[in-house]
Structure 1
Amino acid sequence: MTINRRKFLGATVAASAALSAPMALAAGSGKPRVVVIGGGAGGATAARYIAKDSKGEIDVTLIEPTRTYYTCFFSNLYLGGFKEMDELGHSYGGLAAAGVNVIHDWAIGVDRDSKQVTLAGGAKLTYDKLVLSPGIDFVDNAVAGWDVTAQNAMPHAYKGGSQTELLKAQLAAMPEGGVFAMVAPPNPYRCPPGPYERVSMVAHYLKANNPTAKIIVADPKPKFSKMALFQEGWANNYGGMIDWVGEEFGGGNVEVDPNGMTLSIDGEVVSVDVCNVIPAMKAGKIAEIAGVTQGNWAPVNAADMSSKADADVYVLGDASQQGDMPKSGFSANSQAKVCANAIRGALTGSRVFPAKFSNTCWSLIDTDNGVKVGATYEATDEKIAKVDGFISSTGESSEVRKATYLESEGWYSGITADMFG
């Protein structure tokens, strides 16, 4: 499968045309109201498609506290020196121009009985349909010795923006021959290849700027996404720099000391200069507040991403428990289009198309050395189920790897245009 910006946006235009079938306004004197909480790949896409395809027949409000959204996907390329932070930042002006009422505030309460959302500023918004796309938060005490109060000393950098900038600054300040450590997360988590692309990008930076530095990865898993591809790339490009410690050798038995800057792996204490702690994850807090989570995630119906706790609430992207799809920006964008079609159909009587989903995750290992994994999915009664998939092969030519990297650049341009207009 090859995706570039033109093909991605072309598919988007085709889907938009299909979704723009004639509609009848739902019964009642006013427009139906949709509130979307969270302005990332899921929320921004859903808000834009509902507003655009309903042609003003649905009142759409997006709640997002930040005025500039920095994508977590592609943020590793900033660490590697392939992107500037400004290239990852996107405003909400395009959504406003598309008819979405954008409110920069925190949603702090959801009353599903009265169908109201409460904002930190005191406003209360009434909805007919509510879309939750809050991304991830971290599980308390997931890593011994670390909580969010330690994120300045040991950044997670798993939410785009200031944390990513902090980790880059710490990387640049490492002493010659210093140690960069990562505590990798347990499954499931946002962007399965993400930690290992990050290791690659940190290694790329250190190879050029601090070639005697070392990287230690403490991993609670016995294997990880694209493992053979990454390990091949590490051996070919960063030989001797990266030490991956998996479950078998105690990678899940870790403790950190942010004050002393140490990492303990299965009782062995190592002094580190930078420590990137990526804890276990859960759905963003507002999903829990809304009462739609079960354990760490929010179960949804595969056909339309509606919550299993409430048919008028939908949960997208990383926060959802939906089946076989990985938690990725591509997944969230794909789910948002299915959700938008279903909501528009429910509120206006327009045609609802069968749910189909897709995902691709690209990773950069070194300059012009891109790899990918992806699949297509369908909705079943039980879950979003994988239909077929693909993955890059070890031993691919430099031409194929460069083409894969360029394909990822085209996708980034396409998806951010699709999200923000």
Structure 2
Amino acid sequence: MISRRDFLGMALAAGAASLLPLNAHAATGKVVVIGGGVGGATFAKYMKMKAPQIEVTIIEQNPIYIRPYGSSEVLNGHIDMSDLEVSYDALRNKYGVNVIIDKAVGLDADKRIVTTASGAKFPYDRLVVSPGIELLYDRLEGYSREVAETKAPSGWIPGSQTALLRDQIKNMRQGGTFLIVAPPNPYRCPPGPYERGALVAEWMQKYNPTGKVIITDPKNEFVTGPDMRLGWNRMYGYNVPEDLKSGMPTLKQHNEAGMIDWIREVDGGRPLSIDATKMQVETEQGFIKADVINVVPPMKAGKVATLFGLTDKSGWCPVDPYTFESKLVANVHVLGDSASASPLPKSGFAANNEAKVAAYAIINLFAGRPVEEPSWENTCYALAGKDYGFMVIGVYGMRDGKIANLPRPGFQTLDVSDAKHRLAAVYQQAWMKSFTEDSFA
């Protein structure tokens, strides 16, 4: 059981996770931010709110932010592509952030200067880099950016591929197969591929009732796994494997194959190659033919992170958890999906938390004060259908100099009534709006 008040309190906890100092006006400095997504925008907003005398400049190559969180709802017609668009007007006009639409192409870490594609130079005292992810299209044999943009879209970075995927699903033949190739860990939005499969299945129930959703996976588990499988079981005829039933509430036993089939690594689901001409994916189990193929490829830190020397051999950016300062380049802080900050997930919620922690830390550094011990919270919201929602909450703190999971006793959404799942879906939509406002408005 969880009350609406408790639920909304947890949804807004990110705002309280990093209480900013009251005497922030003692701090002065110049901060440049690369990337205007959730991490960069939240950082700039909260820095200006708490220390308005600090000069903050965001360099972002896109004039409008297209939010990835919630973007799979375009595929089932719940929202339009235009609903994903977020303006930078409030950052400019309300908080005094200098928003530059340009592309960062160079860094002189010794002189502390960022150069952009237009030739402009931006000096800084502290640099914050929040570039999101780069999709590694070529990690799956036969896949490429060209294939993604024409035949087998990814859409994990929302935009034209999202629209293409929506249209392919809409025009799929009756009884056709929608195949998702899930990514290996780590990746942006841990519940995302499985939520996407559920939302497409829900759409199929109405418009293509003999259609099929297959998810082929190099993993054996995923965040929100038990909750999502319960939703699949109740809504789409999915039979939960025997070895995953432990701790689950009463499940429906379906005599016929359901609309969703999840092929785990242990069952031969690891993808090996794709042939977009034949519209088939080779897995360790064999070949799977499909009418629509959606590949979510492996990922690494956004390109500018590599360009600036912030990534290690993992492809991600190691950071000091107290300040999110890079361990490789001094006076540069890395936020959001690009940061290597496990067990914090690569989610918008986590990026929002990290941005506030970094803003607090940099204000203290500018003012010559000690950096205080941080804490974080993350909530992964997901839908198994438009009216079937749930969430997984994580709380994190410092233990032995590292970020660690902290216990959160007495909270779960797995074994609750269908009415509460419907209510959770309402809250998820409310969170989407309030979260976007907290980061950008």
2:289 paired with 1:271 = yes
Give the alignment of 1:95-106 within 5 angstroms. Answer: 95-97=91-93, 98-106=95-103
- The answer to whether the 8 A contact 1:3-1:411 is kept is no
2:88 paired with 1:88 = no
Task: Give the deviation of 1:398 after TM superposition.
Answer: 1.6
- Local SS of the residue matching 1:225: coil
Q: Structure 2 CA distance, aligned partners of 1:22 and 1:300?
A: 24
Say what the alpha-carbon RMSD is for the aligned residues. 2.1
Give the alignment of 1:55-204 within 5 angstroms. Answer: 55=52, 57-97=53-93, 98-139=95-136, 141-152=138-149, 153-204=151-202
Q: Structure 1 CA distance, aligned partners of 2:391 and 2:71?
A: 16
- Local SS of the residue matching 1:187: coil
- The answer to whether the 8 A contact 1:78-1:85 is kept is yes
Deviation track 1:17-46 (CA, whole Å, cap 9, x = no partner) reads x434253355xxxxx211111111111000
Provide the residue aligned with 2:361 in structure 1: 342
- Local SS of the residue matching 1:282: strand
2:308 paired with 1:305 = no
Give the alignment of 1:326-341 within 5 angstroms. Answer: 326-341=345-360
Q: Summarize the Cα distance change of 1:92–1:175 in structure 2 as closer, same or farther, 3 Å threshold.
A: same
User: Higher mean Cα deviation, 153-162 or 7-16?
Assistant: 7-16
- The answer to whether the 8 A contact 1:220-1:246 is kept is yes
- The answer to whether the 8 A contact 1:24-1:350 is kept is no
In the alignment, residue 419 of structure 1 is paired with which amino acid?
A: S
Q: Summarize the Cα distance change of 1:367–1:392 in structure 2 as closer, same or farther, 3 Å threshold.
A: farther
Deviation track 1:140-197 (CA, whole Å, cap 9, x = no partner) reads 5321111222112111111123222221111111111111111100011111111100
2:228 pairs with one of 227, 230, 249 = 230
- Local SS of the residue matching 2:397: strand
Give the alignment of 1:289-304 within 5 angstroms. Answer: 289-295=307-313, 296-304=315-323
1:317 pairs with one of 336, 344, 347 = 336
Q: Structure 1 CA distance, aligned partners of 2:89 and 2:12?
A: 19
- The answer to whether the 8 A contact 2:213-2:259 is kept is yes
Provide the residue aligned with 1:413 in structure 2: 433
Q: Structure 2 CA distance, aligned partners of 1:183 and 1:382?
A: 36
2:403 paired with 1:384 = yes
The number of residue pairs the alignment matches comes to: 413
Give the alignment of 1:235-246 within 5 angstroms. Answer: 235-239=233-237, 240-246=258-264
Identity, % of aligned positions: 40
2:374 pairs with one of 350, 355, 361 = 355
Deviation track 1:235-265 (CA, whole Å, cap 9, x = no partner) reads 2211211111111122114211123322122
Q: Summarize the Cα distance change of 1:362–1:25 in structure 2 as closer, same or farther, 3 Å threshold.
A: closer
In the alignment, residue 51 of structure 1 is paired with which amino acid?
A: K
2:172 paired with 1:205 = no
The alignment's TM-score, normalised by the length of structure 1, stands at 0.92
Provide the residue aligned with 2:242 in structure 1: none
In the alignment, residue 95 of structure 1 is paired with which amino acid?
A: L
- The answer to whether the 8 A contact 2:199-2:386 is kept is no
Provide the residue aligned with 2:247 in structure 1: none
2:299 paired with 1:281 = yes
In the alignment, residue 137 of structure 1 is paired with which amino acid?
A: E
Q: Summarize the Cα distance change of 1:350–1:79 in structure 2 as closer, same or farther, 3 Å threshold.
A: farther
Q: Summarize the Cα distance change of 1:250–1:382 in structure 2 as closer, same or farther, 3 Å threshold.
A: farther
- Local SS of the residue matching 2:26: coil
Q: Structure 1 CA distance, aligned partners of 2:192 and 2:11?
A: 22
Provide the residue aligned with 2:35 in structure 1: 38
- The answer to whether the 8 A contact 1:302-1:381 is kept is no
Provide the residue aligned with 1:29 in structure 2: none
Q: Summarize the Cα distance change of 1:24–1:347 in structure 2 as closer, same or farther, 3 Å threshold.
A: same
- The answer to whether the 8 A contact 1:3-1:410 is kept is no
In the alignment, residue 91 of structure 1 is paired with which amino acid?
A: S
- Local SS of the residue matching 1:198: helix
Provide the residue aligned with 1:401 in structure 2: 421
Provide the residue aligned with 2:385 in structure 1: 366
Q: Summarize the Cα distance change of 1:274–1:40 in structure 2 as closer, same or farther, 3 Å threshold.
A: same
Deviation track 1:38-81 (CA, whole Å, cap 9, x = no partner) reads 111111000111122112x2111101111211211111222222
Task: Give the deviation of 1:136 after TM superposition.
Answer: 0.6
- Local SS of the residue matching 1:19: coil
2:25 paired with 1:23 = yes
- The answer to whether the 8 A contact 2:69-2:348 is kept is yes
Task: Give the deviation of 1:356 after TM superposition.
Answer: 1.2
- The answer to whether the 8 A contact 1:118-1:124 is kept is yes
Q: Structure 2 CA distance, aligned partners of 1:374 and 1:25?
A: 34
Task: Give the deviation of 1:10 after TM superposition.
Answer: 8.5
Task: Give the deviation of 1:7 after TM superposition.
Answer: 7.3
Q: Structure 1 CA distance, aligned partners of 2:16 and 2:378?
A: 18
- The answer to whether the 8 A contact 2:113-2:123 is kept is yes
- The answer to whether the 8 A contact 1:317-1:331 is kept is yes
- Local SS of the residue matching 1:181: strand
1:54 pairs with one of 39, 51, 56 = 51
Task: Give the deviation of 1:353 after TM superposition.
Answer: 4.1
1:12 pairs with one of 15, 18, 25 = 15
- The answer to whether the 8 A contact 1:107-1:120 is kept is yes
User: Higher mean Cα deviation, 403-412 or 309-318?
Assistant: 403-412
* Unmatched tracts of structure 2, length 5 or more: 238-257
